[in-house]
């Protein structure tokens, strides 16, 4: 028998998804632990915009987001810890040629989550600061939260339920016994578990490569710039713009966060800074949608890497035949809004599989 405690499930990674999974497992009464090489919420979670919204071009992601939405809107009732939800509303601009499909999916979602179809003239009337020659989907209840605060709230609640959290515990490698994964070797020593969940964010692809586990994931840089218009528009919603590949939201003190994909896959395992040339791209794309971008001052960037997958669909599954190693990652910068439902589904699956060491 191992000298160290053996967990029913050990979660590796202290970002928002790992923390949400830990909390969901602890609520089911399992003996669970989490290992994080640094401090909780220090990785890509610390740089997330924290958008809480529902509509996605892909119906599967919309379903995950719709299930997570009420959890976030009543977070304290769900978790037992307070966290502020800032409601801004959101406009989703569908890519050209996808309008019919987008409207059909919106109609299916609207009975569960308030949303409405706005033709271009209605967008312009409501938001004269925008260039709009196509329709948008309006989610009035969308908004944002602080991902680090949410993550730490999950951790506090999980600890109250008996979960053990090992911060400052770097992971060396997985422990395998026969055809089963049985834990991880760490700077703290070997942590044993019946099941292991990897929620490593941008480190997922390299960790899986190290253990020769097939996957279709990659790390990619995210950059979101901070802009301050001289006369900030009032009641400006958050936005996802699939026409111009833009995303963003109101920030604080009259500022905005605005970003677009970098396609930079040269992963660096250290803090990264915004790239000036990409800020120019953000500026050029932003002017296509917003009149205020041309005169807005630049006040820095948030930049980090996250784990990406084709279509942002991610992976949340066992990767071995014995069903002892699960991977949850690859949601392409959008994992925050999906975390509660991903955690709930993962916890139910693991609870069915877990046994006592």
Q: Are the C-beta atoms of residues 130 and 124 closer than 8 Å to each other?
A: yes
Q: What percent of the chain has a predicted confidence (pLDDT) above 70?
A: 97
Task: Please provide the DSSP assignment of 180-230 as one string.
Answer: EEEEEEETTEEEEEEEEEE--GGGHHHHHHHTT-----EEEEEEEEEEE-S
Tell me what the pLDDT averaged over the chain comes to.
95
Indicate left, alpha or beta for 75 from its phi (over 0: left) and psi (-120 to 50: alpha): alpha
Could you give the CA distance from residue 7 to residue 4 in angstroms, rounded to a whole number? 9
298-336 b/e (C-beta count within 10 Å ≥ 16 → b):
eeebbbbbbbbbeebbbbbebbeeebbbbbbbbbbbbbb
Which of 3.40.190.10, 3.30.70.1560, 3.50.50.60, 3.90.420.10 is the CATH number of 1-50+146-217+309-357?
3.50.50.60
Does 355 score more than 70 pLDDT?
no
* Overall average pLDDT of the 329-356 stretch: 90
Residue 5 confidence (pLDDT) above 90: no
Q: In the predicted model, is pLDDT for residue 147 greater than 80?
A: yes
Domain ranges of the chain: 1-50+146-217+309-357
Q: Quick one: pLDDT at residue 313?
A: 97
């Amino acid at each position: 028998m191992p000298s160290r405690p053996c967990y029913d499930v050990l979660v590796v990674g202290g970002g928002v998804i790992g923390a949400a999974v830990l909390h969901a497992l602890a609520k089911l009464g399992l003996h669970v632990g989490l290992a994080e090489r640094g401090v909780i919420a220090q990785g890509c979670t610390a740089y997330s915009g924290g958008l809480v919204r529902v509509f996605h071009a892909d119906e599967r992601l919309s379903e995950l987001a719709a299930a997570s939405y009420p959890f976030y809107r009543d977070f304290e009732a769900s978790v037992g810890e307070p966290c502020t939800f800032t409601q801004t509303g959101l406009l989703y601009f569908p890519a050209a040629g996808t309008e019919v499909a987008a409207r059909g999916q919106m109609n299916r979602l609207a009975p569960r989550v308030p949303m409405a179809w706005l033709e271009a003239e209605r967008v312009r009337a409501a938001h004269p600061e925008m260039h709009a020659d196509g329709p948008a989907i309006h989610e009035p209840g969308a908004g944002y939260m602080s991902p680090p605060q949410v993550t730490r709230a999950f951790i506090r609640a999980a600890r109250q339920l008996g979960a053990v959290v090992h911060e400052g515990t770097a992971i060396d490698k997985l422990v395998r016994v026969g055809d089963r994964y049985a834990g991880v070797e760490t700077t703290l020593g070997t942590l044993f578990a019946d099941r292991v969940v990897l929620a490593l964010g941008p480190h997922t692809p390299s960790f899986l490569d190290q253990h020769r586990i097939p996957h279709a994931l990659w790390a990619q840089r995210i950059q979101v710039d901070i802009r301050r218009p001289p006369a900030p528009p009032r009641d400006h919603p958050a936005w996802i713009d699939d026409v111009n590949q833009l995303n963003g939201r109101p920030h604080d003190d009259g500022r905005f966060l605005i970003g677009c994909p970098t396609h930079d896959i040269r992963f660096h395992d250290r803090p990264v800074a915004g790239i000036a040339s990409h800020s120019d791209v953000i500026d050029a794309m932003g002017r296509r949608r917003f009149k205020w971008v041309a005169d807005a001052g630049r006040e820095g960037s948030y930049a980090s890497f996250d784990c990406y997958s084709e279509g942002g669909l991610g992976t949340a599954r066992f990767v071995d035949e014995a069903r002892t190693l699960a991977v949850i990652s690859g949601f392409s910068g959008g994992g925050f809004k999906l975390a509660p439902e991903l955690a709930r589904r993962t916890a139910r699956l693991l609870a069915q599989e877990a046994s006592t060491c």
